Structure 1
Amino acid sequence: MPLAHIAMRAGKPEAYRQAIFDGLYRALHETFDVPEDDQFMVITEHDAASFRYGRSYLGIARSDDLVFIQITANNTRTLEQKKALFRRVVQLLGESPGLREEDVFVSLVEVAKENWSLGRGLAQYA
């Protein structure tokens, strides 16, 4: 049950944002075995004054098209699955909406299964 927070500069059309949602979900489905209809994602858009990043940190040339993707997920995936997720996200977002691989920043936050409540005040995975 991943939860994805996506942050980006404001100004892209709806189709661009939907392509990010679609590509990210597809990558999660394929690499993390996320089931159908398990889509919990939000995009926040920021003006230039509210969006800062290292343009060349670690030798990666980023642009203003940079997208931050933070995924919170159960701590049940292997290192190989995590690497596959990162590769697949970059590949799919490169295909649509056309993001450069340098402009895809992914952070994975892992939590124990009992740390989720998906509604009704219940700990569904505990």
Structure 2
Amino acid sequence: MPLLYIDVIEGRDPGEIKALLDTAHVAVVEAFEVPERDRYQVVKSHPAGEIVALDTGLGIDRSEQLVIIHLVSRRRTRAQKERLYALLAERLRDDCGLDPADLIVSVTENDDEDWSFGSGRAQFLTGELHWVFAANRHVRFARGWPRRFRNAETSGGAVRQSRALPLIVPHHSAIRHQADGQGVIRQSDVVKPGMRARFDELRALAARRARGASAQPGDGRARTCTQWSVR
């Protein structure tokens, strides 16, 4: 999710198809801020006579390099969609040599109950994917967190300012875990096994920061993570 259906006119070699898929994925990740491994793409090549794509009166000239992208996704904002259209046109032009006039994009939205990624479960409804997506957002944010910010330390439900590391773990009612003074995160029994990869990334990041990677030059204060709590 998002799921991309890409239709092209036959004649492209496998290398061109791969470049098209890779470039489209980069644009989706940036526009919708989804995890790198949130990649679902289906390509179909058609004889030229099987695709009819005019211009709705806009005066757009198409060629046999036409690419039609139909994207199925959870609901996105208008700004995110407009950013996606612009990024796809820009990246496919720069990386694949595709004329923006040969790109058609359509988005169909659905809801959490409309997705099952395997094992016969609706992972958005079970909470399995909420952790993955939230962790992805916070890891991405933590990497560029300004040094002047401090962590919000949690104790008994109250949040107070501390001099600890930036808070990178999301609040979610289905998850509980903590990190000790050395930045080691202890996984609770409610975190699903399928979330292990993202959890390990958070744990490694916490360990690096707890060893002093985030300290400013000349700053003698020890910066260790005292407690992270998720609710």
Residues paired across the two proteins, number: 125
CA 1:59/1:43 → structure 2, altered by over 3 Å: closer, same or farther? Answer: same
Identity of aligned residues (%): 35
Task: State TM-score, norm by structure 1.
Answer: 0.94
Higher relative contact order (CA 8 A, sep 6+): 1
Question: Which has the larger strand fraction?
Answer: 1
Q: Which amino acid aligns with 1:2?
A: P
**1:15 maps to what in 2?**
15
Instruction: Find the counterpart in structure 2 of residue 35 from structure 1.
Output: 35
Structure 1 pair 78/59, CA: closer, same or farther in 2 (3 Å)?
same
Q: Which runs of 4+ in 1 moved over 4 A?
A: none
Match of 1:78 in 2: 77
1:110-125 to 2 correspondence within 5 Å? 110-125=109-124
1:100 and 2:106 matched: no
1:125 and 1:101 mapped to 2: Cα distance?
34
CA distance, structure 2, for counterparts of residue 113 and residue 56 of structure 1: 33
Gaps of 5+ in 2: 126-231
Is contact 1:5-1:69 (8 Å) kept?
yes
- C-alpha spacing 1:56/1:109, structure 2 compared with 1 (3 Å): closer
Could you say which residue in structure 2 is the equivalent of 1:59?
59
Taking structure 1 as reference, are residues 97 and 118 closer, same or farther at Cα in structure 2, changes over 3 Å only? same
Q: Check 1:61–1:123 CA distance in 2 against 1; reply closer, same or farther (3 A cut).
A: same
Q: Distance in 2 between matches of 1:47 and 1:55?
A: 20
Alpha-carbon RMSD: 1.2
- Distance in 1 between residues matched to 2:66 and 2:60, nearest whole Å: 11
Deviations 1:60-101 (A, max 9, x none): 1111111000000001x2111110000000000001211000
Name the larger-Rg structure.
2
